[in-house]
Chains A and B, each alone.
Chain A
Amino acid sequence: MGVTLVVGTDKGGFVYRSDDSRQKWRIEGPFFKGWKVTAAARAGDGTWLVGTASDVYGSAIHKSADLRDWRQVPQGPAYAPESNRKLTQIWRIVAPDSIWYAGVAEAGLFRSTDNGESWQPLAGLNDHRSRGNWCPGAGGLCAHSILIDPGNSKRLWCGISAVGVFRSDDAGVTWTAKNDGVPIILEDKDFCDIGFCVHTIVADPSDPNRIYRQDHRGMFRSSDAGDHWERIENGLTSGYGFPLAIDRRSRALFAFPLESDEYRAPQGGQFRIFRSTDSGDSWHALTEGLPQEHVYANVLRGAMDADHLSPGGVYVGTTSGDVFVTRNGGDRWFALPGRLPRIHCVAAITEGA
């Protein structure tokens, strides 16, 4: 089975299509030339979705059946004028079944029940009792991570920078902060459960209570759906980083640690992706095929994804426009053709799966 890889960059979206072996790739694009493409996903019904953004013209969600003809959804995520909030970016789209979710900046979560034609805000999170005290991270005040329990669609998680992880057990009506065990980054004078800077969360596909968290303050794991978190950094050169991906078949984790929050670049100019095959107990550097000298490119939080084939493919887009791929679970990597603008997101979809 081949893979379609959608890459969202600062100046448009690109599509890579592979042969069945994932060895040969051809590139198409750009689509939405000149626009930031900040989120990409394929819905359970096969619809492709992207979020676009422009510093001048704002942000929107677009749909396509074929990655060529696109249509902007008529009633995309939007804040009411009286809220005084601006919708500046679509950070994440998750659309596995009939209910689709979008995480946005300014931070908020929206839901669609009509195949993305209209989106409604989840007031329980967007107007959370602590909302007035939420502070942005360096990337803005953004809801960037969304998880849905595959066995219980009423249980959701959302990661917001620099606020923390929230969980809902009632289909998004009410939300509770879940950050116990993670060091706070910015203490709030009114609310002790906010001020945490989650960068990404991913869920173990075989255990919905097992969640991994790349946080500003380190790498963490929860075995109880986020109620408690423990640090898992054995073997990492740093706990600091942004992306995190999990291969659904092997359950291997992939991370990209940076030197520190001060420098935000690969340590020593070595582009090393770290893998854990024991649920985060230990991490090991992957270097074969990756540049190991004078590389100071970053990987943004949305720019790492897995295709869930066997052996697993992982796709990593950099801020200097390279896309690195492994088709054997991380043992060896190669670069896809082209050098793109700064990469915001990658979405790997297995065709025919």
Chain B
Amino acid sequence: MAKLNVQLPGLLSPVVAGRLNFPIEAPTLRGALETIRRDQPCLGLHLFAENGELRQHVLCFLNGTNTRWLDDLELPVKNGDTLLFMQAVSGG
């Protein structure tokens, strides 16, 4: 098990009572996503679509790498890794 830091955008503040940064423990990237979904279902509703995938306009970065670019979510994670969620905003 590794201890990761999760960072959320400000818009989700009401969903997590203002706690936009929090730690989770998981062995892999997939495990980290599943932990969030399982342990914080209200937050999970806003990050994941009905089919369990990330919502279309939600981005997730593991140490700065877009997780959609990864071939395998079974990637092991390590202590101190950062999982950053952002909304995909482009243009104006």
Using a CB–CB cutoff of 8 Å, the interface residues on chain A facing chain B are 31-32, 34-35, 54-58, 60, 62, 70, 72, 74-76, 78-81, 83, 85-87
Contacts and interface: CB of A to CB of B under 8 A. Distances in A.
B42 A60 contact: yes
Given A56-B55, A70-B14, 19 more contacts: A31-B14, A34-B10, A34-B11, A35-B11, A35-B14, A55-B57, A57-B11, A57-B47, A57-B58, A57-B87, A60-B15, A60-B46, A62-B14, A72-B15, A72-B42, A75-B41, A81-B50, A81-B51, A86-B49
19 contacts: A32-B14, A34-B10, A34-B11, A35-B11, A54-B11, A56-B11, A57-B55, A57-B87, A58-B46, A60-B15, A70-B14, A72-B42, A78-B45, A79-B50, A81-B51, A81-B52, A85-B50, A86-B50, A87-B50
Interface in B63-88: 87-88
B12 interface: yes
A118 to B, nearest CB: 11
Contact of A76 (B45, B57, B58): B45
A57 B42 contact: no
A54 B52 CA distance: 18
B64 to A, nearest CB: 20
Contacts of B46: 54, 57-58, 60
Contacts of B58: 56-57
A contact patch SS: loop
A35 B87 CA distance: 13
B52 to A, nearest CB: 7
Contacts of B49: 58, 86
A60 B52 contact: no
Nearest to A31: B14
B77 to A, nearest CB: 24
A63 B10 CA distance: 20
A263 to B, nearest CB: 28
Contacts of B88: 56
Contacts of A83: 50
A60 B14 CA distance: 11
Nearest to B89: A56
The 7 A-B residue pairs whose C-beta atoms are closest, nearest first, are A57-B46, A56-B87, A72-B42, A56-B57, A81-B50, A34-B11, A81-B51
A243 B27 CA distance: 53
B55 A58 contact: yes
Nearest to A57: B46
Given A34-B11, A70-B14, A72-B15, A60 B50 contact: no
A171 B59 CA distance: 42
A256 to B, nearest CB: 31
Contacts of B41: 74-75
A121 to B, nearest CB: 13
A85 B10 CA distance: 28
